[in-house]
Structure 1
Amino acid sequence: MLNELVMTDDLVEVVSQAREKANKHGERFNIFSILRVHRNEAETHSRFLHELLNPQGRHGEGSVFLQLFLKGVLGIQHSCEGRYRVSRELATEEKRRVDMVIESPTDIVGIELKIDAADQKAQLHDYYHELQRRAEGEKAVTLAYLTLHGKRPSTISLQGLSTDEVVCLSFAYDISNWLQKCIDRSQHKPAVAHAIQQYRQLIRNLSGNGGTMNDLVAGELKSDVERFKEALHVEKSLLKAKASVQEVFWQELRAALEAKFGITPSVYGGKSIRTISAGYYTKNRNSKHIGIKVPVCQVENRNIFLYVNLYHAVHYGLRVEDESGAVVSSPDLREMVRKEMGKGNAFADREASWLVCYYYNPAAGDNEKIINFYDFNGAAVGLLDDEIRRSLIEDMVAHQVELAAKAKTLGSK
C-alpha cells in the first residue's frame, strides 16, 4: 500500500519551500517544544505565566508585566504598586486548586487555564465562591477562564454560575498580545525578551497562528486548483499508507507476544488486524478503541489479561475480564496491583477499568516512545524503519512480559 502514495514534484516543492519559510527566523527552534513540555498546563504554562506576573519574579521587572496584564487584558485600572501577591495552585475549601490567583487590597483575580484538560464538575462554580469567600465583600472578584481560543466554559463547570461572572480569555489573542507588550518593555534585558518570545511563539503554534509549515502549505494549496487536486489524491493515499504502517506494527507485535506467552493474542475492535488498521482512519472518534489482548493469569478467581489498546496513542497494561469477556473494574485488585507496581504513565491509567496502564517502560524510555497513530507523531513515522520498529516492539514486549510476571506473583500469594 505504501507505494500507492505518490507526491508530485510540484507538491514536494511546495512543502519544501513552506518548511524553509516556516523556519526563516528559527521559529522551529522552540525550547518548550524541543523538551516536549509544550502542552503541559501545570509545569509549563502555569509556571511561566506565574513567573511573569509575579512582581518578585526572576525577570527583575517588578510589577511591570503584571500591570500590563491587569490593565490591558482584564481592564483593572487600580494601581497598588508593590502590594500584589501572585500565587499558584491556591487550595479551596472543596480541596480543589485554582491555577493562579492575583490579590491586592482592592481586587482578587482567579485564573483557570486549559490547554488539553477537560472541565470538571462545578469547577468554576467552586473557584468563584472561594474567591468571594476570600474577598470578604471588600474586594472586587474576577474569575478568568483561559483557553487557546477563548471558548466558553461548560455548563457542568459553571454549575449554575452565570457566564457574566466569568471572563473568557484566549491564549491566541489576549495572552499573545500581552506577551508582545512584555517583550517590547523588556528589550533592555535580551535574555528575558528572548524567553518571552519563545513562549509567545509556542502559543502562536499551539493556537494555529504561528505561521507554521502546515499554515503555509494550506495557503499555497487554497490558491491553486491543480495543486489542490493533487493534494486530495495524496490525502486519500495517505490514509491507506498510515493504515499499512499500523498493520505491520500490530502483526509484528502480535507475533512477538505469541513467542513470549505461547498464546496467539486475540484481536478486538474488528475481525482481524487488517480490518482494525484499515478501519481506524475511517471510523468516528468514539469507535477507535482497538487492539490485541492475551490472558495472563487468575488472581482471586478473576481473569487478568494483558491489553494493548489504541485510541490516540498505543497504551498497554493489565485489565480484568468477566466470564463473558467484558472488561470490569476491580478496585481492590487495582489497589493491590498498584502497591506492587506503582502507577502507570498513560492517560488511561486513571480509568478504573485498568489495573495499571503505560505508554512505555518508565525505567527504559521517555515520551519519544509514545506511538500516536491518531496524530501520527514522530514515533509512528519511525515505524517505517525496520530497525526502529523492531526496537520499539522489543522494548514494549519486554515490559509487558515483566507486568505479566508481576501479576502472576500476585496470583500465587
Structure 2
Amino acid sequence: MIANNIPNYSNLLKRVKGLIAYQDQLAKAKGETFNVFDILGLQTNEVRTHSAFIAELLNPAGSHMMETVFLDSFLKRLNHQANFDTKSATAIVEYYIGPINKDQTIGGRIDILLRDGTNQTISIENKIDAGDQDKQIVRYYNYKSDRNTVIYLTKFGDEPSEKSKGNLVKGKHYITISYQNDILDWLEDCQALAYDQPIVRESIKQYKILIQKITHTLNNEEDKELNALVMQHLEEASYISTKYHKVTNDLKQKFRKALLEELQSKIIDGDTDLKGFTLESKKDITQVHAAIWLEHDDSKVSKKWFGIESFSGKGNGNGVLYVGLFAGQGANLSESDKEFDRLNIYWPHHRKLSFENQTIYLSNDSILKKMIKEDLLKKMVDGCTTQIIDFIKENRRCIEA
C-alpha cells in the first residue's frame, strides 16, 4: 500500500514545498525577513522574549498605552472576561510565590501572573521547548486555588506531563492553550485593535511572524490551502507526520552517538584534558534531559561532574545544547564557583554549544538539516568536541575532591 501511494506522498510534499516557497517570496517582498527577535537571537527565550512580550501586551499599564484592550481581547478568547476586573489588573513576569516546599507542591515562580484589584489571579505557565518540572502545575494550582485560574501555554496546545499536573484535571483545574492557534489569533486581534498605533502594530506583527516561524504556521491564505491539502491526503499526511518524528529523532541520536564516540576517541588517544573521565549516554533521545555524562573518580567525592544536554531539543535553557558543570545533592561550591554562568540550582555553570555562529537547538529544523550531510555532521561534532574540551579544561578544578 505504501509503495502504491508514493506518488501521492511526493505530490503532497511538492505542493507543501511550493506553499512555503511562496510565503518566503511574499515575506521578502514585504520586508518581513527583517525581524528584531531573530536578529537578537531571542526566538525561543521564554522569559526574555515570550513571557516579557505577552505580559507587556496584557498589562493595562503597559508601554503600548492601549490600556485594557489587549487584555480584554485575551480574556474574551478564554471566555473569562466576566470574572476578572481588567481595569485594576497588573501583569508580572517571573512572579515569586515563595520557596518550594519538601514535597514540591507549593512555591516557586509563575511565568506570567495577572492579578486584579479584587485579588483574582490568572497564572500562565509558558512552555516553548523546556520540559515540565515536577509538580509545576500543582504548585500553580495551589497558589490561591479558590481565586486562581491556571493556564498551560505551549506551542501546540500539549497537555502537561503527569509529573507536572499530578491528579489535576484539564478543564477543571487548568486550561491548555497554544501559540499556534490561541496566541496567533489573539495577536491578529491586537494588530487590528492597534490599527492607529503604527509602532505598536508593527511590533506585534514582528512578534506574530516569530510565532508563525516557531510553530511552522503559514499566513492565512496559504494556511487554508495547506489545511485543504491535508484533508485531501489525510493518510499520506499522517504517515509523513509519523515519519518526520522518527527521522528527526534518528538524526538527534546519530549526532549524540557520533559526539560520544569522538569524545571517547580523545580519551583513548590520551587527551590530557579528558584523562580519567568515563562517558555515558543518559536517557532516551526522546526524553527531555537526554544527555552525555562525563564522570571522574573525583566526582564520587565532590558530587560534581560534567554533562552535555539536551539532545532532545527540550529541557533546561529552553532546549539549548550546552556543556555544563552539574552539582549533585551535597555538592559544595567555592566562592569563585558562584560567579559562574548559572543555569539553575543543579547547573551552577554552563556554556552554550554553537555551530557556524548559530547556537545549537536540536528542536530547530535548520540545525537538523545540516546533520543530514555527513561532512557538516562531522564538522559539527568536531566543533562541539573542541568547545566541550575547552570548557572541561577551564573548569576541571571544580570537580576535584
Out of 123, 128, 132, which is 1:118 matched to?
132
For residues 393 and 199 of structure 1, what CA distance do their matches in structure 2 show?
Answer: 35
Out of 73, 90, 99, which is 1:68 matched to?
73
| 3-state SS of 2:67 partner | coil
For residues 119 and 301 of structure 2, what CA distance do their matches in structure 1 show?
Answer: 59
Check the 8 A contact 1:142/1:166 in 2, yes or no: no
Shift of 1:215: 11
C-alpha distance after superposition, 1:54-81 (max 9, x if no partner): 2221212222222223344334248968
Q: What is the match of residue 204 of structure 2? A: 196
Check the 8 A contact 2:260/2:279 in 1, yes or no: no
Q: What is the match of residue 22 of structure 2? A: 21
Shift of 1:287: 11
- The Cα RMSD (Å) is 5.1
Shift of 1:336: 4.3
Percent identity over paired residues: 17
Distance 1:286 1:159, change over 3 A: closer
Residue identity matched to 2:393: V
Residue identity matched to 2:331: D
Shift of 1:399: 1.9
Residue identity matched to 1:197: K
Q: What is the match of residue 273 of structure 1? A: none
Check the 8 A contact 1:308/1:316 in 2, yes or no: yes
C-alpha distance after superposition, 1:228-256 (max 9, x if no partner): 9x989x97998887766666544444444
Check the 8 A contact 2:279/2:295 in 1, yes or no: no
Shift of 1:110: 1.4
Do structure 1's residue 38 and structure 2's residue 40 form an aligned pair?
no
Do structure 1's residue 170 and structure 2's residue 186 form an aligned pair?
no
Distance 1:163 1:355, change over 3 A: closer
| 3-state SS of 1:332 partner | coil
Check the 8 A contact 2:57/2:64 in 1, yes or no: yes
Using the size of structure 1 for normalisation, the TM-score is 0.63
For residues 290 and 96 of structure 1, what CA distance do their matches in structure 2 show?
Answer: 25
Q: What is the match of residue 277 of structure 1? A: none
Residue identity matched to 1:96: G
Q: What is the match of residue 143 of structure 1? A: 149
Using the size of structure 2 for normalisation, the TM-score is 0.65
| 3-state SS of 2:120 partner | strand
Q: Which runs of 5+ in 2 are unaligned?
A: 1-9, 100-106, 314-320
Residue identity matched to 2:375: L
Q: What is the match of residue 368 of structure 1? A: 358
For residues 229 and 380 of structure 2, what CA distance do their matches in structure 1 show?
Answer: 34
Distance 1:301 1:89, change over 3 A: closer
> After superposition, where does 1:198-213 map in structure 2 within 5 Å?
198-210=206-218
Q: What is the match of residue 400 of structure 1? A: 392
Distance 1:265 1:90, change over 3 A: closer
C-alpha distance after superposition, 1:162-185 (max 9, x if no partner): 756545141333333222221111
Residue identity matched to 2:112: M
Number of residues of Structure 1 aligned to a counterpart in Structure 2? 361
Distance 1:248 1:12, change over 3 A: farther
Residue identity matched to 1:113: E
| 3-state SS of 1:111 partner | strand
> After superposition, where does 1:5-404 map in structure 2 within 5 Å?
17-26=18-27, 30-77=35-82, 82-92=87-97, 95-105=107-117, 108-115=120-127, 116-118=130-132, 120-121=134-135, 122-129=138-145, 132=146, 141-148=147-154, 149-151=156-158, 166=173, 168-171=175-178, 172-210=180-218, 249-256=259-266, 258-261=269-272, 263=275, 268-269=280-281, 285=286, 291=292, 293=294, 295=296, 298=298, 311-312=311-312, 315-317=322-324, 329=328, 331-333=330-332, 335-336=333-334, 339=337, 342-345=340-343, 350-351=345-346, 358-360=351-353, 368-370=358-360, 372=362, 378=367, 381=370, 384-385=375-376, 390-404=382-396
C-alpha distance after superposition, 1:312-338 (max 9, x if no partner): 265445579xxxxxxxx45234x3497
Check the 8 A contact 1:293/1:307 in 2, yes or no: yes
For residues 161 and 287 of structure 1, what CA distance do their matches in structure 2 show?
Answer: 22
Distance 1:222 1:284, change over 3 A: farther
Q: What is the match of residue 324 of structure 1? A: none
Residue identity matched to 1:201: I
For residues 56 and 205 of structure 1, what CA distance do their matches in structure 2 show?
Answer: 29
Check the 8 A contact 1:55/1:61 in 2, yes or no: yes
For residues 303 and 116 of structure 2, what CA distance do their matches in structure 1 show?
Answer: 58
Residue identity matched to 2:177: S
For residues 340 and 98 of structure 1, what CA distance do their matches in structure 2 show?
Answer: 25
Check the 8 A contact 1:41/1:113 in 2, yes or no: no
| 3-state SS of 2:61 partner | coil
